Amino acid sequence: MVEIHQIPVLADNYIYLIHEPASKTTAAVDPALAGPVLAALNEQTWTLTHILNTHHHGDHVGGNLELKARTGCVIVGPRAERDRIPGIDVAVAEGDHFSLGEATAHIFDVPGHTRGHIAYWFPESDSLFCGDTLFAMGCGRLFEGTPEQMWRSLGKLRVLPSSTRVYCAHEYTQANGRFAVTVEPDNQTLRERMAKVDELRRRGFPTVPSKMGDELATNPFLRPESPAIRRSLGLMGANDAEVFGEIRRQKDRF
Ligand SMILES: [Zn+2]
């Protein structure tokens, strides 16, 4: 089992430290900045051995080179974006495994937000690091991919155990939920979750990680087969990718 430490940075980013105690190895997931990572490592008395990047955006790789210079850590990132990941040492893709000491991550290719976006799933720790692909009650914008691609990518994640903790890279939950209730206004589970999220945010607490089971029940981007969603969009006969694409388009304009 790994220990996970959450570091809020910038307006709404999360960096995660994953610590495997048996080997004393520690990875930083998507370090936007170096300073807050170094401070957290110092506070935890952990030594950085790895960086795990999910995709090339600056608010996910901005701390790579400084952290590598200061700690000599190994940088792991998506093979399809290896020319855009600063300091990358190890390029991984779907089907590969990454070992952090005794903890093993399975790699998924999840293109859509960017062309080469990957996700790291640690099954023994029930934890998924999915960057900007799946958010609590939302999903990433399609900067470099099509709705069909993103729907296929989300399909790889939504079949993981419902107990999976979803460590996404942004605190977007409240805004996502406000949109979700417009798509599926009669989803009582969604309304109850939204009330809890509002309360957490009022008190300044994170709403991330969430549980995959809660995402399946409330995240409209994982629910295109829902008859209520299809009715509200007027897309009863469409396929799941088409419904997903329409939800994404509406969110972009929300
Ligand atoms: Zn991004």
Closest listed residue to residue 3, CA positions, set 143, 38, 22: 22
Number of domains, the chain: 1
How far is residue 31's CA from residue 16's CA, in Å, rounded to a whole number?
A: 8
User: φ, ψ for residue 74 (rounded to 5)?
Assistant: -95, 130
Asked if the bond preceding 209 is cis, omega within 30° of 0, the reply is: yes
| Inter-residue contact 53 to 85 (CB < 8 Å) | yes
Give me the sign of the Cα torsion angle 61, 62, 67, 72: positive
Ligand 1 center to 250 CA (angstroms): 19
Ligand 1 center to 234 CA (angstroms): 30
> Which residues form the catalytic set?
55, 57, 59-60, 113, 132, 170
Question: What's 101's domain CATH number?
Answer: 3.60.15.10
Ligand 1 center to 5 CA (angstroms): 21
> What tokens appear for 150 in the block?
């993103």
Q: Which three-class secondary structure state does DSSP give residue 171?
A: coil
Ligand 1 center to 22 CA (angstroms): 32
- End-to-end alpha carbon distance in the chain: 40
Closest listed residue to residue 32, CA positions, set 122, 121, 131, 149: 131
Q: Is 254 exposed, middle or buried (0-12, 13-18, 19+ CB in 10 A)?
A: exposed
Residues lining ligand 1 (ion), CB within 5 A?
57, 132
Ligand 1 center to 236 CA (angstroms): 32
How far is residue 70's CA from residue 174's CA, in Å, rounded to a whole number?
A: 36
| Inter-residue contact 214 to 177 (CB < 8 Å) | no
Ligand 1 center to 156 CA (angstroms): 19
Per-residue pLDDT of the chain (254 residues; tens, 9 = 90+): 899 999 999 999 999 999 999 999 999 999 999 999 999 999 999 999 999 999 999 999 999 999 999 999 999 999 999 999 999 999 999 999 999 999 999 999 999 999 999 999 999 999 999 999 999 999 999 999 999 999 999 999 999 999 999 999 999 999 999 999 999 999 999 999 999 999 999 999 999 999 999 999 999 999 999 999 999 999 999 999 999 999 999 999 99
Ligand 1 center to 118 CA (angstroms): 11
How far is residue 60's CA from residue 7's CA, in Å, rounded to a whole number?
A: 13
What pLDDT does 1 receive?
Answer: 86
CA dihedral 183, 185, 191, 193 (to 10 degrees): -20
Rg (CA), the chain: 18
**Does pTM top 0.95 for this prediction?**
yes
| Inter-residue contact 52 to 98 (CB < 8 Å) | yes
Ligand 1 center to 69 CA (angstroms): 24
Identity (one letter) of the amino acid at 125? S
Domain of 249? 3-253
